[in-house]
Chains A and B, each alone.
Chain A
């Protein structure tokens, strides 16, 4: 399934780029994600609780960041498998400066398999969109809590 969309983050482009690749921030912002644990260069182990249709279960997987092109784009690859099947997300995030922050555009695909595909496929589209929105909402909360503001200086 193809996914695409855009969200605005209220911090400057360089800061947004750093936040979106910060494992602590990602871990806290990804819905259902417990924590990210570094296992290699730009590669993290992930445990994530997934709820879709009548199913829920833990996914054990990896988050990888590739094709980094500071500060304008990078690719985020999320893969997980658990008792309800497996999922794979692959998205190119493109950042562009705005007056009050950064526009983050994403384009990619989500694939699922196993039970999650057999019984949850029809909800995948809306669920993916909801999860992405929750991710950006959580990210905004994080930003607000940390005192980041549009135009504020990058932390050292």
Chain B
């Protein structure tokens, strides 16, 4: 027997460089647009320039007549194709039939009207310009509050009140809480529409093989199995003859969970022309036609005692849905309701959500999906309450947190927060930033006219979506681990990472559990013909659920490895050290690689054991996880220009146990960038006619590298009891913690001028005008 070689150190918890990066930074990764097939055709979509119009005439002949054009399809051709699906269901939900091409009306700018198919992408684009569409313009409405007002134009004629649904939830006795309150503060708070802006736009290649009755669909998707199931049912293609591949996916931020009209349209086209067909979204199309995020108008009322004890919260959410319901559209504001108490103890809430149709592209999940809106709201309200009570905002927060021994903590909205020590990150961040000194500096500076702000957020979030009863897409995740005869390890995860780094973190987990080198582990994902059924990557679920499925699959293999080891060592008194099996009494051991070989060519099988080392585990989580943290932001506002400079950005995040702190930092940095984008710069603006005015990066300001502050990121680690890894999730934390901390900081800088609230984005123009007007917002 060989001497056991035990790996000297574990990898979980270490800053391991991302193993997916070499192919990304050398430009050799394969995205949808890199896929080329023999006989592949190209599609270009004719889109409406009108937000609301009747299609009076459609002339495709000038396009069809062009050399190289093989087909043009219009609404008439696809009228029997089922609706683009929405899987989120609410009682009484009004769901308009979402045709893949407009029938006789268009409902938003960018609405697909026809698809031109040609032998070449340029021919298709030129021919699309030649399609003649005669529109009879109809009145449009782009603002959700205006859409709900009496006399507003009906977006869908059958529902003149433009209301897709209303949703009510309450907990405790909110009326009693408000009766007993000393102070009630009220504020209207908006969370503007944002464009998710994945670096890679969407793209689809559909390859229908009539003789095999099979479809292969490449799509830039976060959830390939879900896409497969939905396409299978929509087109009646057996699921075992339908392969969906999400190749390299260049970011999604929620926008690629959806199944889009184009996924269905390319399937339809490929079936009609019997050839593979590719469509790749242009950046301008991405602004117009990929889902937007946020789009809230919220009305808050917070009740409290004079001593700062918060008693109850009332919230009315007006959700801008856009013209249609995409996959999860109506569910997103219900997540805001779940998150509305934030990290605070009060048990009395009442929430009303009104889902309003508008002549805009639909909204859906975007990094945080409902939780950033709620966190922004409660964290702004706490600051408004602190100002009203003339209390320090940190003190007010600390007073209302549940204590660490109160977990699991049952919230007013029906959740059970798994574990937490909410005061710790806030105190850590305040110490880090030098809070007391800054307050002194702020006071002195004001006498000299300087505008210094110190703002904080104590955020919580709902992660690891989630238990199946609470997750419309299904909530479990799957993993298969194969140990090859040579001892090399292949992991197939049902999660579909597209930037989250699971090819690295999952390899770390497996390398530790099996005691193998990380280079001997490969993680595969995103191909439904390769990977067992899975749910996908969204809602900060990859590691907490997919990682746990992996963990249990590894445990199954380890127990089988132990059986093989015991047989080889001819003793039951053996133990596992990594992937090796040791007989302690004799000091004899058998290595992992020896067992791997033996498992496939067993001279003697352990009792009741099959040859081979393959295990699959599907793991259904018993609860969500609830990460938390505190961000403290120090801003300086330029009185003369309205410019906001971020002097310090301190983020203390608690996402449970860290598998890879380097990747966690990357997630926090990226999240903060998108949170800052919302707080300071980004806004999807539609004019009164429903025209999108911010349709490219010159008008829609996402932060660039030089606009980012130095992020002082650290962590507290409160393990989650929900899964054996103790992990919670971190993909959305940075975004959720950021925007309220930034806005609180700027309001704090201007508070002595009478400023109580500011709506995002805090553009220099807005701040300058406010200062010029003497600070009265």
Contacts and interface: CB of A to CB of B under 8 A. Distances in A.
Report whether chain A binds chain B.
Answer: yes
Interface of A: 53, 81, 83, 85-86, 111-115, 117-119, 121-122
A112 B691 contact: yes
Given A113-B51, A119-B696, A121-B691, 18 more contacts: A85-B49, A86-B49, A86-B50, A113-B50, A113-B689, A114-B49, A114-B691, A115-B284, A115-B695, A117-B691, A117-B692, A117-B693, A119-B695, A119-B698, A119-B699, A121-B693, A121-B699, A122-B693
Contacts of A113: 49-51, 109, 689, 691
Nearest to A82: B129
Contacts of A115: 49, 284, 695
Nearest to A115: B284
B76 interface: no
A36 to B, nearest CB: 21
Interface in B706-735: none
A109 to B, nearest CB: 12
Given A114-B49, A117-B687, A117-B693, A122 B284 contact: no
10 closest A-B pairs by beta carbon, nearest first, are A118-B695, A114-B49, A117-B691, A83-B129, A121-B693, A85-B49, A119-B696, A113-B49, A119-B695, A118-B692
B459 interface: no
A53 B697 CA distance: 13
A38 B287 CA distance: 39
Contacts of A53: 698
B694 interface: yes
Nearest to B133: A81
A115 B687 CA distance: 13
Contacts of A117: 49, 109, 687, 691-693, 695
B698 A118 contact: no
B288 interface: yes
Contacts of A122: 693, 698-699
Contact of B288 (A81, A86, A118, A121): A118
B129 A118 contact: no
Nearest to B129: A83
Nearest to B51: A113
B582 to A, nearest CB: 66
Contacts of B689: 111, 113
Nearest to B287: A118
Interface in B461-511: none
A117 B698 CA distance: 13
A59 B687 CA distance: 22
A119 B685 CA distance: 12
Contacts of B51: 113
19 contacts: A86-B49, A112-B691, A113-B50, A114-B109, A114-B691, A115-B284, A117-B49, A117-B691, A118-B109, A118-B288, A118-B692, A118-B694, A118-B696, A118-B699, A119-B695, A119-B696, A119-B699, A122-B693, A122-B698
Nearest to A58: B129
Contacts of B696: 118-119
Interface string B39-50: 000000000111
Contacts of B693: 117-118, 121-122
Nearest to A111: B689
Contacts of B692: 117-118
A53 B695 CA distance: 12
Given A113-B691, A118-B109, A118-B692, A81 B699 contact: no
Interface of B: 48-51, 109, 129, 284, 287-288, 687, 689, 691-696, 698-699
The main secondary structure of chain B at its interface with chain A is loop
Given A81-B49, A113-B50, A118 B687 contact: no
A118 B50 contact: no
Nearest to A57: B129
A10 B734 CA distance: 64
Contacts of B695: 115, 117-119
Contacts of A81: 49
A79 to B, nearest CB: 11
User: Which of B49, B129, B284 counts the most chain A CB atoms within 10 A?
Assistant: B49
Nearest to B46: A83
Nearest to A124: B693
Nearest to A83: B129
A99 B767 CA distance: 48
B539 to A, nearest CB: 30
B111 to A, nearest CB: 11
A121 B686 CA distance: 11
A61 to B, nearest CB: 13
Contacts of A121: 687, 691, 693, 699
A53 B51 CA distance: 22
Nearest to B125: A83
A3 to B, nearest CB: 16
Nearest to A85: B49
Contacts of B109: 113-114, 117-118
Nearest to A122: B699
Contacts of B50: 86, 113-114
A119 B282 CA distance: 13
A83 B128 CA distance: 9
A119 to B, nearest CB: 5
Contacts of A111: 689
A85 B692 CA distance: 12
Nearest to B697: A119
A53 B696 CA distance: 11
A115 B129 CA distance: 12
Contacts of B284: 115, 118-119
A117 B688 CA distance: 12
A76 to B, nearest CB: 20
A122 B694 CA distance: 9
B429 to A, nearest CB: 38
Nearest to B693: A121
B440 to A, nearest CB: 43
B54 to A, nearest CB: 15
Contacts of A112: 691
A36 B7 CA distance: 83
A112 B687 CA distance: 10
B387 to A, nearest CB: 36
A86 B687 CA distance: 15
Nearest to B685: A121
Contacts of B694: 118
Contacts of B129: 83
Nearest to B699: A122
A68 to B, nearest CB: 25
Nearest to A88: B137
A82 to B, nearest CB: 8
Nearest to B288: A118
Contacts of B49: 81, 85-86, 113-115, 117
Contacts of B687: 117, 121
B287 to A, nearest CB: 7
Nearest to B130: A83
A125 to B, nearest CB: 12
User: Which of A53, A83, A118 counts the most chain B CB atoms within 10 A?
Assistant: A118
A115 B691 CA distance: 9
B236 to A, nearest CB: 36
A83 B284 CA distance: 14
A87 to B, nearest CB: 10
Contacts of B691: 112-114, 117-118, 121
A65 to B, nearest CB: 22
B52 to A, nearest CB: 11
A152 B50 CA distance: 48
A21 B687 CA distance: 32
A148 B284 CA distance: 48
A139 B645 CA distance: 50
B135 to A, nearest CB: 8
